[in-house]
Amino acid sequence: MVAVGVVAALVAALPFVLRNQYYVGIAVFVGINAIVAIGLNLLMGYAGQVSLGHAAFIALGAYTSAILTTRTGLSPWLAMPVAVALASLIAAVIGVPTLRLHGHYLAMATLGFGMIVSIVINEWVSLTGGTSGLVDIPRLSLAGLALDSDTKYYYLVWACVAASLLLSFNIVNSRVGRALRAVHTSEVAAATCGVNIARTKLQVFVLSAALAGLAGSLYAHQLQFVGPGHTFGFGFSIELVVMVVFGGLATIWGAIVGAGVVTVLGEYLRRVGDRDVAVFGIVLILLLVFMPRGLVHGLASLTRRLRREP
């Protein structure tokens, strides 16, 4: 509990420490990515399934919010649940046939789904604005207070991160969570205990897509613009997987650490241009060699070792 309090205080104090609005803006994106990574961590770390198309669920959330608020004038607060619901619904449609099968069919299906979404974004110009995208997406406001600065938005996003974290912890330490972890070790043993494997996996997948939809909606209202780009593409789906592996599979805190490291690293590497992919690759390989269970576990065992040998 103390650790949670310390982390919460650090997160709350961060905008005052950073001062620079550019850095606060990055911290907003760390939060948005962390929401996606928390959901993906449940899917990969606990249900043992990989999604290679989670960026497409972010796109779905972002475009749903964008289209509803700019075309129909719907309140952003009403558009957001619609975005989450649509992402969940589509995840269910993809998940029902693929999660009945053993093996990594979900990875293939989500890969294809990501490609379809990319094509729709680019080609369905009347709906999505094509390559020019959609502009003038309204900002969110809370009880009459417009969240018109990065600092104000930062608190909203990180409140959502905290809520997602809480949700994950509650699930992992519940009847469903134990079933999930059991499925990951032995599907046969879990099934003979009465766990409906396909259904459990499907529920986690839908939840992870819902969180990605929420993140997408938050993204749209922060940038006030959506268009075909990095965040919605295959490359970013891979980056999300990297975040989860970085932080450590089945380590809920790890999802946030991974999102932080990868987002900040990505921002920094933008300066070296196209070589960022190569640097990412090298960092990932080094991590897997030296800290195969992820950054959180790796650092914890490193400090233990240092303490024992002063």
Partner 1 sequence: MGTGVLEAHALRKVFGGLVAVNDVSFTIAEGGVKAMIGPNGAGKTTIFNLLCGVYPLTAGGFRIGGKRGDGRLPHVIAHMGLARTFQNVQLFSNMSAIENVMVGWHRRGRAGFLAAALRLPWSRAEDRAARKACVEKLGFVGLADRADDEALSLPFGQQRLVELARALASEPRLLLLDEPAAGLSTREKADLARLVRRICEQGVTILLVDHDMDFVMDISDMVIVLDHGEKIAEGPPREVQKNARVIAAYLGEEVGPAD
Which residue ranges make up the site for partner 1 (CB under 8 A)? 167, 170-171, 174-179, 181-182, 185-186, 188-197, 203, 207, 250
Residue with the two structure tokens 């406001």? 141
How far, CA to CA in Å, does 304 sit from each of 201, 308, 310?
A: 35, 6, 11
The CA-based dihedral angle spanning residues 121, 157, 37, 198, taken in that order and rounded to the nearest 10 degrees: -80
Cβ of residue 198: shortest distance to partner 1, in angstroms?
A: 9
Cβ of residue 165: shortest distance to partner 1, in angstroms?
A: 12
Q: Around 248, how many Cα atoms within 13 Å sit in the side-chain half-sphere?
A: 18
Nearer to partner 1, 66 or 106 (CB): 106
Cβ of residue 278: shortest distance to partner 1, in angstroms?
A: 34
Q: What one-character DSSP code corresponds to residue 291?
A: -
Nearer to partner 1, 155 or 169 (CB): 169
How far, CA to CA in Å, does 250 sit from each of 30, 75, 296?
A: 19, 36, 11
Nearer to partner 1, 42 or 90 (CB): 42
Nearer to partner 1, 89 or 176 (CB): 176
Task: With H, G, I as helix, E, B as strand and everything else as coil, classify residue 102.
Answer: coil
Nearer to partner 1, 132 or 173 (CB): 173
Cβ of residue 243: shortest distance to partner 1, in angstroms?
A: 21
Element (H, E) at 142: strand 141-142
Cβ of residue 175: shortest distance to partner 1, in angstroms?
A: 5
Nearest-5° angle of CA 63, CA 99, CA 176? 90
Cβ 144 vs Cβ 78: under 8 Å: no
Cβ of residue 213: shortest distance to partner 1, in angstroms?
A: 16
Nearer to partner 1, 54 or 201 (CB): 201
DSSP string, 13-77: HHHHHH--HHHHHHHHHHHHHHHHHHHHHIIIIIS----S-HHHHHHHHHHHHHHHHHHS---HH
Cβ of residue 190: shortest distance to partner 1, in angstroms?
A: 7
Nearer to partner 1, 67 or 207 (CB): 207
Pairwise CA distance, residues 214 & 36, whole Å: 8
Nearer to partner 1, 179 or 257 (CB): 179
Cβ of residue 244: shortest distance to partner 1, in angstroms?
A: 17
- Which conformational region is residue 136 in: left (phi greater than 0), alpha (psi within -120 to 50 degrees), or beta? left
